Structure 1
Amino acid sequence: MSEPAPLPLTPRERLLEAHRRLCAAYNCPIAYFHALGPLDELVSSLLSHRTRNADSARAFRQLRERFPDWEAVRDAPVEAVQEAIAPCTWPEAKAPALQRILQLITGRRGALNLDHLGEMPVTEARRWLESLPGVGPKTSAAVLSFSVLRARALPVDSHHHRVAQRLGIIPASISVGPSHGVMEAMLPPEWDAQGVYDHHEVLMLHGQRVCFFRSPACARCVLLDICPTGQARRTGLREAEPRVRSGASAERGPQAA
């Protein structure tokens, strides 16, 4: 008598199995890539919207070199800020938007800092950040996770999102913003901030190195046997692949992320 066919994995089971395999492949725990304060991280994240990492890093570096502190950036002529962040996309839009956010933080806090975020529950800290114009769930999570606060927050970028869609962890119809809450709800409560950070990093790295937007390298993917998209591609059923979008058109300009 033959063995019964295994039951298909649930989305949460796929997430956990992908995490286990990718952590082995990319050597978790993964070191944090920098140690910026939360305000620095917010500025860095805002500059990175729809921008290559190397270009946004250069824009951030030039901003720090040309102004002594964030108060000086806030109060400078907008043209000077725009010139400093020229390496990033849409500097003409990001410069006034950045100054507006710095002004709002000063008005709400009485000082230009985000030190209070470390004393707040993560959900409240994210809500506070997302009340700022242009700050969405990805940026709020990045500020809390990537900065020295090292909070338990899950950012989802386009690579992470693409891998999760192809694995069937999230539906093909869900965009990056709403996907944050869906995937956060699947995370084991016992995972600490490092575990949540590792989860984002390994899915992002896999999207960058294997699960490319065009022509994913399914033949060398450690997740192939649990990936509906990979299995469909392997058998030639290309129509079964979810329509994964690369992001907004360049004409649309920067948006909340």
Structure 2
Amino acid sequence: MAGTRPIVMSNDAEPSENISGGPDGGGLETAFEEREADTRTEAVVDRLGERYWQKTYGGQDAFECLVRTILSQNTSDKASQPAHDVLMDRYCEEDGDLAATLADADQPTLAETIESAGLYNQKSATMIAIAERIVDEYGGAEEFNGFVAEGDPETVRDALLDFSGVGPKTADCVLLFSGGRAGVFPVDTHVHRIYRRLGIAPPEADHEEVRAVVEDQVPAEKCGFGHTASIQFGREYCTARKPACLDDPDACPMADLCDQVGVYPETGEVVDPADAPAE
């Protein structure tokens, strides 16, 4: 595992559309001792870190982080960020307990508040139910935040997954952005696509299988920025329908590290890696 140099605040703001971090998402820039990557996956993450940012994460309020991630489910950050901002303006009182406030919230009113995020009836009901459990089982948002930051990571993950409406990606985002846990590499649709397309994870791997492969091959301290940088790479280069390499093999900064599984520049066809014929 690489040693770290002193951590300093980053001057490079993450893109505002990346709800996983964002300008208000916290995080400290960190540099790693230069060394040859032990795996192709680590080489990919190193290159992404050089292109975008190298940061350690943690410090977000756990319940707010949970709310943000639920809002971002099945929608774009462009849609979910305004919903988050309006929700916080309406329900987050100074020195108040957001979980306690949402536990007592009127569901139709909350749904109207977060309408721009889509699936607002489902998401509002999920947030109220989780808020009620956090108040009942932990005592409130502050106590829940302490549990996420200090509890055994597997115990915390299991507890998060026990909340209705919380899947592995949401649980891992809370562990990373709130708990600051090293070795956590949340897998969203971008990460799932990229690491199978690269040929690092099996083409038919599900989200949890991709997570297991990547976390096994990337040093723990690089997983956080590997996740956020992979998302940005997926938006800019390795898109679902028209990856950069489709028209120009040299247009992608990962060209020499990628197997292009499911991408066929000679025909212009792009399929999910799981649908690519075996070679």
Unmatched segments (≥5 aa) in structure 1:
1-11, 245-257
In the superposition, relative to structure 1, how do residues 75 and 210 fare at CA in structure 2: closer, same or farther (>3 Å)? same
Decide which of 18, 30, 53 is 2:77's aligned counterpart: 53
What is the CA RMSD across the aligned residues, in angstroms?
2.5
Which residue of structure 2 aligns with residue 108 of structure 1? Answer: 137
Equivalences for 1:8-23 in 2 at 5 Å? 13-23=39-49
For 1:51 and 1:241, how far apart are their aligned partners in 2? 20
Structure 1 residue 217 corresponds to structure 2 residue 244: yes
Matched residue, 2:149:
118
Is the Cα contact below 8 Å between 1:14 and 1:226 reproduced in 2?
yes
The TM-score normalised by the length of structure 2 is 0.73
Q: CA separation in 1, counterparts of 2:272 and 2:82?
A: 36
Residues 153-192 of structure 1 correspond to what in structure 2 (within 5 A)?
153-188=184-219, 191-192=220-221
Alignment of 1:34-113 (within 5 A): 36-67=60-91, 68=93, 69-113=98-142
- Structure 1 segment 246-257 matched on structure 2, within 5 A: none
Q: Aligned equivalents of 2:203 and 2:263: distance in 1?
A: 15
String of CA shifts for 1:173-201, please: whole Å, max 9, x gaps.
1222442223222223xx32xx2111112
Q: Which amino acid aligns with 2:99?
A: W
**Take 2:203 and 2:197, find their aligned partners in 1: how far apart are those partners?**
8
2:157–2:171 contact (8 Å) kept in structure 1:
yes
Instruction: Provide the rounded CA distance (Å) in 1 between the counterparts of 2:60 and 2:99.
Output: 14
Aligned to 2:233: 206
Secondary structure of the structure 2 residue equivalent to 1:87: helix
Check conservation: 2:82, 2:116, Cα contact below 8 A.
Answer: yes
The residue type paired with residue 254 of structure 2 is L
Q: 1:16 to 1:75 in 2, by over 3 A?
A: same
Identity percentage over the alignment?
27
Amino acid in the other structure paired with 1:91: Y
**Residue 180 of structure 2 corresponds to which residue in structure 1?**
150
Scaled by the length of structure 1, the TM-score of the pair is 0.79
Find the aligned partners of 2:270 and 2:72 in 1 and give their Cα distance: 33
SS in 1 for 2:117: coil
Task: Give 1 or 2: higher helix fraction.
Answer: 1
Counterpart amino acid of residue 74 in structure 1: A
Q: Mean alpha-carbon deviation: is it higher for 13-22 or for 133-142?
A: 13-22
- The amino acid that maps onto 1:211 is C
Matched pairs, number: 226
Partner of 1:36, secondary structure, is coil
Does the CA contact (< 8 Å) of 2:242 and 2:270 recur in 1? no
Q: Distance in 2 between matches of 1:199 and 1:74?
A: 34
Task: Name which of structure 1's ranges 97-106 and 170-179 shifts more when overlaid on structure 2.
Answer: 170-179
The residue type equivalent to 2:259 in the other structure is P
1:80, distance to aligned residue in structure 2 (A): 1.2
Residue matched to 2:25: none
Distance (whole Å) between structure 1 residues aligned to residue 129 and residue 61 of structure 2: 19
Q: Secondary structure at the match of 1:93?
A: helix
Q: Given that residues 136 and 177 in structure 1 are in contact (C-alpha distance below 8 angstroms), is that contact kept between their aligned partners in structure 2?
A: no
